[in-house]
Chain A
């Protein structure tokens, strides 16, 4: 018996010794004495990265991490404006040609100086001209470098070590002229003397952070690049750690094991309870109800308008998204630089008007339709319930159909077989990319919307290199979308982030990027 008791005590002793009794003391010591700049800043990510090589994996998580390691010719500042990054100047010599002048003494993470050869190599790599990679990473670059009218790779030529000339061929200009700056921002510059295999295991870029270590399936560690050409970040070491479970992520944040968390409807009260500031900015994503114009009743503009009047967007935001979000009137966020601030005839909540329009359209006894959503998207599910109740008030019976993403993609996104559906359009600063999905000949035009005026406006905007004229085209295009009540544009659900004690500020962008360099340490 004694032996058994002794044995149990021994087991308990072993176990209790394994529990880290000193953690709390260590933490206190760290917060008191150690510099937060030196401490590793831990950011949770939901899944592991498919590839560390620049541009190879297009998933948003990969971009969130790799934008810290890589940079392009342009980048975005905290106001979401494009600014020159590693280029000193860009000169447009004529309609078809641009010359990029590079900054001098800019170093890659491996110590090599960035030269024009590296930039040319990076562009060709995107266009699928790197034999080792053998993949077209960006179609626009493939068009630019492989077209028939410009003479293959000669469309991009080196002038000297710090300048290069790009000849924009007509095929490229037809679609991507206005998008050139964004395309230049999206091409990460990599050194031409590092193999693709090496890049995928130990990526080398020009960014503020350099790759340190990867524990497959667990974490990716970066460290501050001391020779970075721009402003040096406050945080020295950063770790992107995989947390697939939201509850564990919250517990880890509460215990101080991670320093960054996305705030949402489910965790906002707990985060507020920790007395931490919540940084909030519009996500610029567009949440909207797509109505299928190819079929009844949505081929009738009066029905589409009725739906727009029947939905109380403010109430929708309050109930479905905990009061956080920005009402949208058109296919572009109010915070996009091309947003039309003078939109006329907006649809304010007016159930009487909705009823009147339905009556005019011949639906005085109400109407029914099927509303398809992606079941994995929790916010979509919550929104559907609220919208169903709101529409009931004007005599519309909405049947909710929840589909898995794969089914949704096949039937709705690809084949356009649906009546009405809610789909989140992820933000991008380029208005052309956001609005081109409503053009008649585009496969992602779910609604089947056709309007030659809108198409013309977009084609003109795409070709236009003059900034103010381009803005004018985009503004007109937005007004057309509103006038035709093409969809019910709902809201931008906003981005909210909390940082652990001792840290403040982070720049939030309308695309996938956790900008660690913008996080500041309180002193």
Chain B
């Protein structure tokens, strides 16, 4: 089973349509992560939505992924606040 976790989802030449709409947790979390990098096909998005309605673990992963981004963003905004205009001299 060594390869099943990472290789058999989105990029398969013959995607399993059932698994697109009803992904496992591994597949759902993978799709959630990839959705942060590029737009996904509608069916795959629908699959994620239905899955996270039913699965608290994947729902948490979905929320936490956004939360971490937001917190890094907030940290950067805080940096920006602290930058005095003289920073521009140094670039």
Check if A and B associate.
no
